[in-house]
Amino acid sequence: MIRLENIDKVYRTDTVETVALSSINLTVQDGEFISVMGPSGSGKSTLLNVIGLLDVPTHGRLSLNGDWISSYRDRALAKIRNQEIGFVFQTFHLITDLNVVDNVEIPLLYRKLPGSQRRKMALEALERVGLTSRAYHFPTQLSGGQQQRVAIARAIVGKPRILLADEPTGNLDSHMGDEIMEILQALNKNDQTTIVMVTHDSRMAERTGRTVRLFDGRQVN
Amino acid sequence: MLKNYLKIAFKVFLRRKFFTFISLFGIALTLIVLVVAVALWDHVFGPQAPEAHADRLLTIYFVHAKGPRGNTNGPAGYAFHDRYVRTLKEPKTVTVHSIFLPVISYRHGTEIKSWVKNVDGEFWQVFRFNFLEGGPFTSDDEKNGNRVAVINQTTRQRFFPGESPIGKAIELEGRPFQVVGVVSDVPMLRFTSFADAWVPISTRKSPMYKTEFENGMFFSTILAKSPADLAKIQEEFKGMLTRIEYPDPKSINHLTGRPETLLDTISQELCNGYLTTAALIAMILFMCLPTINLININVSRIRERSSEIGVRKAFGASSLTLVGQFVIENVVLTLIGGILAFVGSQLVLRTINHSGWIPYAQLTLNPRIFLYGLAIAVFFGLFSGVYPAWKMSRLHPVEALRGRES
């Protein structure tokens, strides 16, 4: 379960103070699939980054799977991200110098696993997204949809309980977007993976269990 | 994990060929200069034949003489060495020998210039020459003024091409000397023992040397029984200086000096005793140039690699893990530079050896120098990699994913 209590996020520079999130209270139950919608600059990605422990809230507190995040020290956060969370980004963020299976292995590099087991798990994850045949291709040799499927394989290879997807279909045409949504829905349904997905696309949002709307950093529903 | 790091390191190196070339060129050039410098240093000061047991050798190169008529500074005369150094109790053996001097000879009307050194019989016990033919002359040869000579292999080739010179006469300064032994060439940089021909001191044309005291052209080299005795010898020498009976006290009445290694002597003359420190500082400063260059290149790669850093952080890499990754990349790069440098150094050393710039130079990349070079390369890699790696690892993951430096 993900729980946010009175989360504020304020960015300060010498002259400007920008409120990205204000008094966010949100609970996402285990196995839930929610979407976050709102106009550009409404704080959707910031919310996802706070949930994913990539960003630290200015005020408020957050719990993941029942544990309140009490320490924001680099190593502790890195461990939680590695064990509990998977990320899917709009622009895929695959490492172009590595082939597909090496990209998928990345989260496992930070666990004490033998190379053979890492490789096995990575190939299994690729199988789940239907890309085993492309395991030794490089990202630039794949279509956008295929790259996003690799990114999903990377996100799920470590079997995280939470998957955070930041506009995963934003860079894809509708056909490829549908394919990605089907994979996400299957993960949610079959593995009970909790998914929080940011999207601009109301058609995609309708396929999730619940939609949270943000406007100027505030929750509006 | 290491395999993954290496894989991506090589991909990055190949993708940024120009940066990789600049980095490798800087590393390799610096290491070549350092390795050649270390080889030269080792050649001059290291324990190599005929001074292989350098840890038991001390030489009195220069003495400083003071008196009512002024000061002098330079090699002492034979009388001082013979009377006061040869009679020290602590050393195992003491040899008195001159500086090397040029002599002109003629063979079939062709002028041949050679460096000749006057030595006593003990010289061959203190220094360990590699005899190719014959053997050394003795203390009796020195006492009796026998005109005998030990020559090096190049002199053999010049005067006796294709034949054995043993028992034959070689003409030096217009006088014949009977060759009794042939030794391997000694590089000129082995300043203490180098010559083309070694002849007894007593064969000098003029006997004037026998009375020269504070001012002359002789060194004495002391072989200690063990390295632990060196300090005792220096102490005994110091005590001896206070008991000198000066032949002409109205001219010179105070002498200072010290049996020491060539490194100590040169260090004292050039840098007030801090030659090694000065060399180390110069080496570090010299290394700083390509290191700063490498740091700049590495830092400039941040923007390009920020997405990767963001991804790795998002999937569980801590800052420390990322520092490790980038340092490994840098060490790999410097080790490749190190390999290139060793190949390059080998070529440079061979060129120096064959060029004749340093007579009989035998500069080699021995295992010790190889290890120095390897240590330098690793140090270099760590030194130039840690700061950029730290800077890279500090990128905020959100900013890194957006492709921005924090």
Q: Are residues B238 and B91 in the same domain?
A: yes
Give B174: exposed, middle or buried? Use CB within 10 Å, 0-12, 13-18, 19+.
Answer: exposed
Answer whether residue B109 shows pLDDT above 90: no
Is residue B233 included in any domain, yes or no?
Answer: yes
Q: Are residues B102 and B230 in the same domain?
A: yes
Q: For B204-236, write each residue's pLDDT tens digit.
A: 989 999 999 988 999 999 999 999 999 999 999
Quick check: A110 and B8 CB within 8 A? no
Is residue B221 included in any domain, yes or no?
Answer: yes
Is residue B232 included in any domain, yes or no?
Answer: yes
State chain A's maximal CA–CA distance in angstroms: 53
Mutation site, B305, B307, B311, interface A, largest A CB count within 10 A: B311
DSSP H helical segments within A85-143, as ranges? Answer: 100-109, 115-128
% of residues, chain B, pLDDT over 70: 95
Strands B254-257 vs B63-67: parallel, antiparallel or unpaired = antiparallel
Q: For the residues A104-125, what does the mean pLDDT come to?
A: 93
The whole-angstrom separation of Cα B221 and Cα B96 is 7
Taking CB atoms and an 8 Å cutoff, what residues of chain B touch A158? 315-316
Q: Are residues B71 and B206 in the same domain?
A: yes
Taking CB atoms and an 8 Å cutoff, what residues of chain A touch B402? none
The whole-angstrom separation of Cα B270 and Cα B123 is 28
Q: How far is A76 from chain B (nearest CA, A)?
A: 9
Q: What is the pLDDT of residue B268?
A: 73
Quick check: A55 and B398 CB within 8 A? yes
Q: For A12-33, write each residue's pLDDT tens digit.
A: 888 888 999 999 999 999 999 9
Q: Are residues B231 and B131 in the same domain?
A: yes
Q: Which of B8, B316, B397 sits opposite A82 (nearest CB)?
A: B316
Is residue B369 included in any domain, yes or no?
Answer: yes
Answer whether residue B199 shows pLDDT above 80: yes
Of the residues B201, B225, B259, which one is the last residue of a structural domain?
Answer: B259
The full DSSP string for B95-141 is EEEEPPEEEEEEETTEEEEEEEEEE-TTHHHHS---EEEE----HHH
A107 lies within 8 A of chain B by CB: yes
The whole-angstrom separation of Cα B83 and Cα B235 is 17
Q: What is the pLDDT of residue A135?
A: 95
Is residue B270 included in any domain, yes or no?
Answer: no
Q: Are residues B32 and B66 in the same domain?
A: no
Q: Which of B8, B310, B312 sits opposite A97 (nearest CB)?
A: B8
Q: Which of B8, B307, B310 sits opposite A98 (nearest CB)?
A: B8
A1 lies within 8 A of chain B by CB: no
B143: number of Cβ within 10 Å: 12
Q: Are residues B79 and B115 in the same domain?
A: yes
Q: Are residues B311 and B377 in the same domain?
A: yes
Taking CB atoms and an 8 Å cutoff, what residues of chain B touch A93? 307, 310-311, 401
Q: Are residues B42 and B71 in the same domain?
A: no
Q: Are residues B183 and B229 in the same domain?
A: yes
Q: Are residues B198 and B333 in the same domain?
A: no
A113 lies within 8 A of chain B by CB: no
Q: How far is A210 from chain B (nearest CA, A)?
A: 25
Instruction: Kindly state the tokens that stand for A97.
Output: 């110098």
Quick check: B307 and A154 CB within 8 A? no
The total of structural domains in chain B comes to: 2
Is residue B230 included in any domain, yes or no?
Answer: yes
Q: How far is A164 from chain B (nearest CA, A)?
A: 11
Quick check: B1 and A81 CB within 8 A? no
Instruction: Kindly state the tokens that stand for A210.
Output: 């619940």
Strands A218-219 vs B57-60: parallel, antiparallel or unpaired = unpaired
Q: Are residues B139 and B237 in the same domain?
A: yes
Q: For A149-194, write each residue's pLDDT tens digit.
A: 999 999 999 999 999 999 999 888 888 899 999 999 999 999 999 9
Chains A & B: contacts with CB separation below 8 Å: 71
Q: Are residues B41 and B144 in the same domain?
A: no
Is residue B55 included in any domain, yes or no?
Answer: no
Comparing alpha-carbon positions, the chain A residue that sits nearest to B321 is A110
Q: Which domain holds residue B186?
A: 62-259
A134 lies within 8 A of chain B by CB: no
Mutation site, B315, B318, B401, interface A, largest A CB count within 10 A: B315
Is residue B267 included in any domain, yes or no?
Answer: no
Q: For B145-197, write each residue's pLDDT tens digit.
A: 999 999 999 999 999 999 999 999 999 988 999 999 999 999 988 889 999 99
Q: Enter the pTM of the model.
A: 0.68
Nearest to A140 by CA among A130, A132, A150, A125: A150
